[in-house]
Amino acid sequence: MYETIGIWTAAIFTLAVYSFLYKENPLYRLGEHLVVGISTGYFIVVTYEQVLKPRLIDPIANDGEYILFIPALLGLLYITRFFPKIAWLSRYPMAFIMGTSMGVGFPLSMKASVLRQLEATILPLYSAGMPWQIVVGNVVLVLGTLAALIYFFFSKPHKGPFFGTGSKIGIWVIMIGFGATFGFTVMGRISLLIGRIQFLLNDWLGVIK
């Protein structure tokens, strides 16, 4: 019974959202607003059950870790944002989170997104037994990266044989990269539609397997 009502409700809302493709209508609007409300309500529940209870309330109540009042108070300062007179207090938790997370992220990003990537671009163009596609690919990879980096060079005019030609090749390589993304995206978007059609035809109507 629960399952049946559930599937029917889901089907009705699915069709309600699709009706938007024809014209905006009240049922679509209802769905759109419900999503905002339900997801926020869900966040509240999960945040309480997964964070506040096991990490704040339980440790304070059972283990007497009163030091956790500090982050709790700091967190509460977010709420001052709603009181214009003391809204500036909300900058404190923001500053704490921003500062520390950027500090933590800095050396890690330096390693993962700069040094590792540089390391991976320094590669033997050819080694024994490498098929020709790979050799050509390696050359394209190294020169392409170089050219695209030239394109993102801002303090020199894009003129002359090095910066001019380099940036031109660079933007071509970048466009090929975007083309690849584009080509994959088509599949991604269609997949989402397929997922819903499978739901409607299989779970709801049961006309396909």
42 contacts 48 by C-beta, under 8 angstroms: no
Least spacing, CB of residue 99 vs another protein, in Å:
3
Q: Does 61 participate in binding another protein (rule CB under 8 A)?
A: no
Nearest to 8 by CA among 209, 208, 199, 207: 199
9 contacts 30 by C-beta, under 8 angstroms: no
14 contacts 200 by C-beta, under 8 angstroms: yes
* Position among 25, 44, 61, 130 found at the interface with another protein (CB under 8 A): 44
Q: Does 164 participate in binding another protein (rule CB under 8 A)?
A: no
Least spacing, CB of residue 129 vs another protein, in Å:
14
Q: Does 205 participate in binding another protein (rule CB under 8 A)?
A: no
Alpha-carbon distances of 169 from 120, 138, 149, 151, 157, rounded to whole Å:
21, 16, 10, 8, 15
* Residue window 137-156: x/- pattern of binding to another protein, with contact defined by CB under 8 A: xx-xxxxxxxxxxxxxxxxx
Q: Which is nearer to another protein, 45 or 161 (CB)?
A: 45
Q: Does 101 participate in binding another protein (rule CB under 8 A)?
A: yes
Using CB atoms within 10 A of its CB, is residue 24 exposed (0-12), middle (13-18) or buried (19+)?
exposed
Least spacing, CB of residue 61 vs another protein, in Å:
14
Coil/strand/helix, residue 155? coil
Distance of CA 174 to the CA centre of its chain: 21
Q: Does 60 participate in binding another protein (rule CB under 8 A)?
A: no
Residues of this chain, 66-85, that bind another protein according to CB under 8 A: 68, 70-72, 74-76, 78-79, 81-82, 84-85
The set of long-range contacts for 171-180, using a CB threshold of 8 Å and a minimum separation of 24, is 172/147, 173/144, 173/147, 173/148, 174/148
Residues of this chain, 13-42, that bind another protein according to CB under 8 A: 13-14, 16-18, 20-22, 24, 29-42
Least spacing, CB of residue 60 vs another protein, in Å:
11
What is the size of the binding site for another protein (CB under 8 A)? 151
Q: Does 165 participate in binding another protein (rule CB under 8 A)?
A: no
* Position among 61, 130, 160, 175 found at the interface with another protein (CB under 8 A): 175
Cβ-proximal residues to 90 (8 Å cutoff; 6+ apart), any chain: 77, 78, 79, 80, 81
Least spacing, CB of residue 166 vs another protein, in Å:
9
